[in-house]
Amino acid sequence: MKNSLSKQRGMTLVELMVAMTVGLFLTLGMTAVIVQSLRQQSISTSINTRDQAVVTALSQLDNYVRSAGSGFSNGWKLGFFGCQLRAANADKSLLPATLTAPFSSVTSLAAPVMAPLVIEAGVGANGSDVLFVMGGNGAFSNVPRYVSKVSGDTLSFENVIGLKSKDLLIVAAEEKRDCYLSQIDSVSSSAAENSITLGGPYFLSSQDGAESVASIAAATPAFIAPLGGVSAAYPTMSLLGVGSGDVLFRYDLLNLKSQTPQPITDGVSHLLALYGVDTDADGKVDSWVSPAASGWTASEVMASALKIRQILAVRLAVVARSHGVNQANVSPGKITVFNSLGNDFKRELSLSSEQRSQRYRVMEIVIPLRNNLQIES
């Protein structure tokens, strides 16, 4: 019995402490591996979110810019390009616009003229550019219609094919500075006459400081540019730019679907743009021009139908950054965009120490203004 008990010895205190120490080191090692794995997973998620923001931003911008000018570009010599837009909805003035954040720093584009695209430089968050884009329904073949007769709010034409009640249109004349967004109340087609009568929420007979729509329509020659129906969300008349919190916004100037700026995607810190300009009327981009350059500021472009006509493309740079995981000095002190175009166009964006803790990605895209490219000389 005594021998049996002497063989049943347990662990000594030293052995127990050694075992606990080994176990503790193993636990710490496993914890470090798990923490590092979770951190790497968080970084990967943040990078994927950033990359998705770039793709979404470029896709949406391409969609708006590529269709700019639909419905009216071929009428650029008929008084459309550069005319001062007047618009209202249910007696509420829409244009000129009263803008709020993130477009509260916009000045020239608060009173836009008719143009497929105009850029106002440096008025967005972080010094980003703001884009004005306008387009209608391409189904109307980009061909304005000559107003043959005016009687009150009734306008007559050679034909009214494709025009429907509630459609939106622009009324303009070659020798008139102002032009009106208006709406069709009814359409009449007979052997004697083809006509439309203006009316509806978007009908505006006159505006302070501008000629009346009747006066413009009665000018010789006067034209309309059909833009499409309200239900189809035509026309597009939008401001696109970056706001606080790295959010890319779109504001519908006509309030067709929303009366406030709407987010497109987050994670976008900068939106920068250049004009692609045809300087010799050969239908090709000859040079790139900064929207801050003399002669090409927003106000100067809007004052010249020819400059609006010369813009055949836009080059966009979208800068996106990650959020959620900080790592000191993970990014360089400066980010360069438009570097491939040389020093004249290269833009360097300086980053603070805090900003350098985020990961950035820059993507550039060239978007043709296909409706300006198709204009007949």
Is it the case that residue 239 has pLDDT exceeding 90?
A: yes
Percentage with pLDDT > 70 across the chain? 90
Looking up tokens 């419905």 gives 71
pLDDT value of position 214: 94
In angstroms, rounded to a whole number, what is the distance separating the alpha carbons of residues 261 and 259? Answer: 7
Is it the case that residue 8 has pLDDT exceeding 60?
A: no
State the amino acid at position 362 in one-letter form: V
- Is residue 293 classed exposed, middle or buried when 0-12, 13-18 and 19+ CB atoms within 10 A define those classes? middle
Residue 73 Cα distances to 82, 167, 371, angstroms: 11, 18, 6
In this structure, are strands 178-189 and 84-89 parallel, antiparallel, or unpaired?
A: parallel
Residue 69 Cα distances to 80, 157, 183, 284, angstroms: 11, 23, 19, 17
Task: For residue 139, report the phi and psi dihedrals to the nearest 5 degrees.
Answer: -65, -15
pLDDT value of position 368: 96
> Are the C-beta atoms of residues 80 and 223 closer than 8 Å to each other?
yes
- Omega cis (within 30) before 261: no
Task: For residue 358, report the phi and psi dihedrals to the nearest 5 degrees.
Answer: -105, 160
Looking up tokens 């837009």 gives 85
What confidence tier does 48 reach under pLDDT thresholds 50, 70, 90? Answer: low
Domains of the chain with bracketed CATH: 52-85+93-138+233-373 (no CATH), 140-229 (2.40.10)
> Are the C-beta atoms of residues 204 and 86 closer than 8 Å to each other?
yes
Task: For residue 248, report the phi and psi dihedrals to the nearest 5 degrees.
Answer: -90, 125
> Are the C-beta atoms of residues 176 and 216 closer than 8 Å to each other?
yes
Task: For residue 257, report the phi and psi dihedrals to the nearest 5 degrees.
Answer: -120, -25
Is it the case that residue 30 has pLDDT exceeding 90?
A: no
What confidence tier does 2 reach under pLDDT thresholds 50, 70, 90? Answer: low
> Are the C-beta atoms of residues 371 and 73 closer than 8 Å to each other?
yes
In angstroms, rounded to a whole number, what is the distance separating the alpha carbons of residues 361 and 335? Answer: 9
Lowest mean pLDDT among 69-73, 79-83, 179-183, 306-310: 69-73
Q: What is the pLDDT of residues 333-375, one digit of tens each?
A: 899 999 999 998 999 999 888 888 888 889 999 999 999 998 8
In angstroms, rounded to a whole number, what is the distance separating the alpha carbons of residues 288 and 373? Answer: 16
Q: What is the pLDDT of residues 65-110, one digit of tens each?
A: 998 998 899 889 999 999 999 999 998 899 999 999 999 999 999 9
Nearest to 320 by CA among 241, 243, 240, 247: 247
pLDDT value of position 139: 61
In angstroms, rounded to a whole number, what is the distance separating the alpha carbons of residues 16 and 45? Answer: 43
**Averaged confidence pLDDT in the chain:** 89
Nearest to 133 by CA among 314, 332, 346, 272: 314
Work out the end-to-end distance of the chain between its first and last CA atoms, rounded to an integer number of angstroms.
Answer: 117
Higher-confidence residue of 375 and 165: namely 165
Q: Give the count of beta carbons closer than 10 Å to the beta carbon of residue 211.
A: 18
pLDDT value of position 376: 73
Positive or negative: CA dihedral 164, 237, 109, 370? negative
